[in-house]
Structure formats: C-alpha cells, structure tokens
Amino acid sequence: MKVLTVVLCVCALCWPATTIRAQKPDQADGLPDLNALIEDRHAPENAGPALTLDEVERMALARNPEIAVAVRRVVMAEASVPAAGALDDPELMYRGWGVPLSQPWNYNAAQNMFMVTQALPGPGKRSLRTSVANSDVAEAKDELAGTRLRVRVEVGKAFYGLLSAQDELRVHDEHVAIARQAIEAARIRYTVGQVPQQDLLKAQLGLTRLGEHMIRFDRDVEVARAQLNTLVGRDPAASLEVRGDYGLVAPLPSAASLEQLALQSRPDLLAAEAAVEKSRRQQSLAKKAYVPDFTASAGYMLMPSGSTTRNDYMLEGSMTLPWLNHRKHDADIAEADSAVTEQDAELAAMRTAAFGQIQESLAEAQAAQKFAALYQDSLRPQAEATLHAAVIAYENNQTDFLNLLDSQMAVVDIQLAAIQAMGDFSMRMSDLELAVGAPIDPTQPAAATSAQEGQQ
C-alpha cells in the first residue's frame, strides 16, 4: 500500500494537478472551484495542423498588413523615377500682333504667330534628378527590408512565447488524471490516520498553486496566439497551434563578427547610407544651379495681307543667368552641404547605437543560453535525483511526507522554469537578429576565430 501511494504521489504532485478532497468531505469546500477550472479547459476547436516557425514566417511575409504598405511605398517610389529626369511639357503659343482696334476681327491685317517652346535643363541636371529619385527607391526598399525584419522577429518572439506556453500546458495536462488519483490516495491515508492533517493541507496548497499556474499558462497561450495571428494577417481569435524546438545548441558568434554583419545587413543602417548618398547627389544638383538652363522655341508667322512675304518662320532661344543670383544659389548650396554633414553624423550615430544594441542583445542571449543550459544540464537532473532519493527514503520510513512533497514540487518548478528559460533564450536570439539585421549563422564564430588566428 505504501509503495502504491508513493508512486501515485510522485507522479501526481511532480506535475500540475487539480483538486484535493482533503481533511474530510465537509472540509473540501474550496476545491470544487479549482476542479471546475481545470475541467473547463479544452483544446481549441479546428486548430488545424501545428505550424513550424518557417511556415509562420512565410505566412507573415505574405500577409502582414505593414509589409503590404511598405511594398506599396516601394512601388510609388519606383513610379516616380521616370518623371524625375523627364523634360518639362512643351508649350504651344499663339500671338496675334497688330490687330487694328477699329477692326478687331480683321486678322488678315495682323501678324499671326504660332510657336512651340521647350525648356531644356542645364547639362547633367536631369541625370542627377534621376539619381536622387533612385536614392528614394533605395531608401524605400531598405525600409521594406526593415519592416520585414521587424515582423519576422516579432513573429519569432510570439512563436516561442506560444510554444513555451503550449509546452507548459502540456506538462500540466499530462498529469491531471494521475494527480487526481494521488490526491484520492492521500485522502484515504488521512482518513485512516496514516498522515497528519498538516501534510494534507500543504499538499492542497501546492495543488492550488498549480491551479494558479494553469491560469497564467492559459493567459500566455491566448496572448501569444492573438499576437501571432495578428502578425500573419489572421483573425486574432483564430485557432493556432505551433511546433518546433528552441535551438539551444547553436553557438553564439563574437560581437566583432556580428557588428561586421550588421554593417552589411541591417536595413536601417543601409537606409541611412542611402540617405547619405541621396544628400550627396542633392548637393551636386544644388551646385549645378550655376549651370544655365535653356529654352528653345520655333514658330510659324502669317504676315498681314499685302506683305512682301506672307509666310515666315522664327527661331528663338533663351538662357538663364544664374551668376546674377548668387544669394539664392549660394544659400541652396549651403543648405545642401549642411544636409550632407547632418546625414553623415546621423549615420555615425546610428552605427554606434547599433553596435551598442548588438552588445546588449548578445549579453542577454549569452545569459539566457547559460540559464537554459543550467536548467537542462544541472538543475533538472539534480531535482529528479533529489526526488528519487526522497521516494526511496519515504519508502524506508526515513523521511516524512512533507519532504517528499517539497521534492516533488521542486521538480515541477524546475521543469516549468526550464521551459521558460528555453523560450527566453529563443526570444533573446530574436532580439539579437533584430540588432544584427540578419539571421545568425551558427558557423560564424568558428570562421571568425580562424580568420583572427590566421592574421596573428
């Protein structure tokens, strides 16, 4: 009987449990609510097949509303490029000269002129305007890449949040039935006087705490599912299940290699570089203000009746004189120079901030990885060994029920903490990828180390 009781208690109290009909039947008034809470939980209907992280990311990249808006901005920027370098519209003009006031309808006595005029920008201005428009396209594309990166990272964090919550609930649900059997066995032992009342009360308290955990797990699942559904463009209340692992074996690259990768991949840094290039082209365009613009016109003139030549043509040309307007053009050039200086300073500041973010994210990821490894490699085996020793001691009357219960609850807490630590590590890796601007390559640290050794 004692061995059966130990087995039931170990299997039950080691995992989230339900209720306990403690003391006497009339003393368990607080337990039906907990029992009803557990029985009220059920799997979501029409959840469909569980999705992997890659599948969810593909859905988000195809359906996310923010990405769709960024794509339209790129299309708009590309549509403006042809117009930036195009010529102004030609002008068609008519002039009637010398119409007699006494005969305002007599156009045979007037000089009738029809003229077509075309404005021609100075050499090099059209190509510079096109290059500025192309810089706008590059900025829009970098912003699109940044939006995709941010959405992908948010998807990863929501995915791992949902995966951790699902694992916690799975651990809880797998042992509900066993827990009920163990509680019933404990109640029987109390009824026949084999355990004191305080043992049963403490067991009841521990099970109530597990019920509290279950409420939090349910909340975490619903919140993560709503976030993930929103990111993939679905109804936030839609059913969704995920599957995958936490990738704890991936080594972390060095900070130097991550910084180099960020300079090549981080979208906001690339967008800042495109903005610098755009400001330099605008500076060149501003300096082109001292290159004159031209206007060319050609026309046909119908002379008055009786003129020696009735049909004539005319050519006309004009050009601007920018040298006579130094104040305006010098101010425009100075403004363009200031913009270049500002963009350079902003790019330098963004790089410094990015490197700081990489250092912080890397430190967080390294700490999270150590915590996860500690739970996986040390704390969990130690807690299970302690529980095994407590079971043997209890079977041989060398310890009491409370020590056994404490060991069982310690295993439960460490199992749940291990899941949380693994999920936290995966989320910190998502933050690190956001700081770097690209997926982390597990082979990168070894390659970087080998390169450094070769240089030495």
pLDDT at 116: 95
Contact call for residues 410 and 387 (beta carbons, < 8 A): yes
Which amino acid, 76? M
Q: Measuring CA to CA, which residue among 433, 455, 80, 49 is closest to residue 267?
A: 433
Amino acid 446 reads A
CA distance 254 to 260: 10
Strand order in the sheet with 294-302: 91-97, 111-120, 294-302, 311-319
Alpha-carbon span 410 to 388, nearest angstrom: 12
Nearest in space to 278 (alpha carbons), one of 180, 384, 135, 406:
135
Predicted pLDDT of residue 382 = 86
Distance CA 323, CA 293 (A): 12
What is the reported pLDDT for 403? 72
User: What pLDDT is stored for residue 249 in this prediction?
Assistant: 58
- pLDDT value, residue 121: 92
Rounded-to-integer distance, Cα 102 and Cα 110, Å = 12
Judge whether 279 and 340 are in contact, CB under 8 Å: yes
pLDDT at 305: 84
Please tell me the predicted confidence (pLDDT) of residue 195.
63
Alpha carbons 428 and 439: distance in angstroms, whole number = 13
In this structure, the number of other CB atoms found within 10 A of the CB of residue 278 comes to 21
Q: Which one, of 140, 127, 82, 142, lies nearest residue 281 by Cα?
A: 127
The per-residue pLDDT for 25 is 37
Residue type, 445: P
Residue 407's alpha-carbon distances to 212, 377, 411, in angstroms, are 19, 18, 6
**Count of domains for the chain:** 1
CATH code, 437: 1.20.1600.10
Burial class of residue 181 (count of CB atoms within 10 Å of its CB; 0-12, 13-18, 19+): middle
Decide: 22 and 31 in contact? Cβ < 8 Å: yes
**How far apart are alpha carbons 394 and 430 in whole angstroms?**
45
The 3-state secondary structure of the chain reads CHHHHHHHHHHHHCCCCCCCCCCCHHHCCCHHHHHHHHHHCCCCCCCCCCECHHHHHHHHHHHCHHHHHHHHHHHHHHHHHHHHCCCCCCEEEEEEECCCCCCCCCHHHCEEEEEEEEEECCCCHHHHHHHHHHHHHHHHHHHHHHHHHHHHHHHHHHHHHHHHHHHHHHHHHCCHHHHHHHHHHHHHHHHCCCCCHHHHHHHHHHHHHHHHHHHHHHHHHHHHHHHHHHHCCCCCCCCCCECCCCCCCCCCCCHHHHHHHHHHHCHHHHHHHHHHHHHHHHHHHHHHHHCCCEEEEEEEEECCCCCCCCEEEEEEEEECCHHHCHHHHHHHHHHHHHHHHHHHHHHHHHHHHHHHHHHHHHHHHHHHHHHHHHHHHHHHHHHHHHHHHHHHHHHCCCCCHHHHHHHHHHHHHHHHHHHHHHHHHHHHHHHHHHHHCCCCCCCHHHHHHHHHHHHC
pTM of the entire structure?
0.74
What's residue 456's pLDDT?
40
Which pLDDT score is estimated for 19?
Answer: 33
Burial, 114: exposed, middle or buried (Cβ in 10 Å; 0-12, 13-18, 19+)?
middle
- Structure confidence at residue 407 (pLDDT): 73
Range of the domain at 409: 2-455
What pLDDT is attached to residue 348?
Answer: 94
Contacts of residue 139, Cβ cutoff 8 Å, sequence gap at least 6: 77, 271, 274, 275, 278
- pLDDT tens for the chain, 456 residues: list them: 444 344 444 444 443 333 333 333 334 434 455 555 555 554 555 556 788 888 898 999 898 999 999 999 999 999 999 998 899 999 999 988 888 888 888 888 888 999 999 999 999 999 999 999 998 999 899 999 999 999 999 999 899 988 888 888 877 766 555 455 556 656 666 677 766 666 666 666 666 666 676 778 788 888 888 988 888 888 888 888 888 887 665 678 889 999 999 999 999 999 999 999 999 999 999 999 999 999 999 999 988 888 888 899 889 999 999 999 989 999 999 999 999 999 999 999 999 999 999 999 999 999 998 888 888 888 888 888 887 887 788 677 776 666 766 777 777 778 888 888 888 898 898 899 999 998 886 555 433 433 343 444
